[in-house]
Amino acid sequence: MRTVYFDSAATTQLRPEVVTAMTSVLLENYGNASSTHSVGRSAKSLIESARKTVAKYLNTTPAEIIFTSGGTEADNLVLNSAVRDLGVKTIITSRIEHHAVLYSVNQLHKEFGTNILYVNLDDCGHVDYEHLEELLKANKDVLVSLMHINNEIGNILDIKRVGDLCKANNALFHSDTVQSVGHFEMDLQAINVDFLAVSAHKFHGPKGVGFAYVKKSSGIKPLIFGGEQERGLRAGTESVHNIVGLEKALQMSYDNLDQEREYVKSLKRYFIETLSEAIPDAEFNGNCACFENSTYTLINVCLPVAPEKAPMMLFQMDLKGIACSKGSACQSGSTKGSHVLSQILTEEQMKKPSLRFSFSKFNTKADIDYAVSELKAIVAM
């Protein structure tokens, strides 16, 4: 059976060059980076080299890059410390954030009584910037947490505009950039942002590693205690091979960005055209079929399938060897529908199956032809 992978928003295939770089570290640079002998110093130098590489591509300083286990830990580090240590009393976010943010702010409300406010969204799930400004002006001691690229429908936040609004109103700004770093340029000298969360496995790097961007002199304090690693902000022996894998993946993503972005854009465009012709009643959720307001890396489509057949749709695709998603991989075990789609779809639309197809440089038009032909057959059943 043919296998086709259209779930790169959940995780990406490792580049072979990343595997090679990681394997070399595992075999040759196995020292503990906190050790003072030469083997330890060799491992430490690799970490610091990776930190410099990341800082270069984001146009910031190495001291502001803190390696973590991934985006979820980075989100938790920032949000928890903001309330616990930075005097934040109110968090402004949206109802379509990743659960790493939504569950964290709910817990902060329970533990500390943090005031949680949700910015209005339009019918396609885009932030109402005027309402955001109203909330900022009406509250003090605020942190805004809004994701740059939505992981389910692909909406692009005007991150510079939000940063400027936060600065004008003396608010801190945190953005989950898990779906954007490695796919979009990020100049941190041009954006008024205090914190970012990033995961390597979203741009063809390894799982289990990411980083938080923490602006200088932010006052943030650790979430994990036990050692002085990562400038004292993240205790624990560093996973050197993963950090080197992150470095190599980020370097290759940005060095090949223009070429690979145009290729992936062409795949998305072809998928939209082919699917629209094969299943005319299919509807693209939010603005995901738009290339100006949505990322080039994914689409989310509502299919004309009877409600009683909808629960089996993903299973039927899997039987055909097609890997896609009904939403975030983090909620794949949940019986609830997508919290993102529930904000923009009607009750009737929510009864139909919506599938997310996300693309990478490893996909081909032949993959799309196969997926669309199988979709058409399943919908016609």
For the chain, domains (ranges, CATH) are: 4-12+257-380 (3.90.1150.10), 16-255 (3.40.640.10)
Alpha-carbon gap, residue 188 to 179, rounded angstroms: 16
Identify the pLDDT of residue 327.
Answer: 62
What pLDDT, on the 0 to 100 scale, is given for residue 64?
98
pLDDT at 42 over 90: yes
Tell me which of 124, 290, 324, 330 is the catalytic residue: 330
Q: What's residue 1's pLDDT?
A: 75
SS3 call for 261: helix
pLDDT at residue 104 greater than cutoff 60: yes
Identify the CA nearest to 284 among candidates 156, 124, 151, 95: 124
Alpha-carbon distance of 228 to 139, in angstroms, equals 36
Are 205 and 19 in contact by the 8 Å Cβ rule? The answer is no
**Once rounded to an integer, what is the mean pLDDT over residues 139-167?**
98
Nearest Cα to Cα of residue 244 among 25, 16, 6 = 25
For the question of residue 290 being annotated catalytic, the response is no
Average predicted confidence (pLDDT) for the chain: 95
Q: Which two tokens stand for residue 235?
A: 């205790």
Q: What is the pLDDT of residues 252-302, one digit of tens each?
A: 999 999 999 999 999 999 999 999 999 999 999 999 999 999 999 999 999
Residue-level pLDDT at 335: 56
Pair type for strands 298-302 and 283-284:
antiparallel
Does residue 326 register a pLDDT over 90? no
Please answer whether residues 295 and 301 qualify as being in contact, where contact means their C-beta atoms are separated by less than 8 angstroms.
no
Which DSSP symbol is given to 324? Answer: -
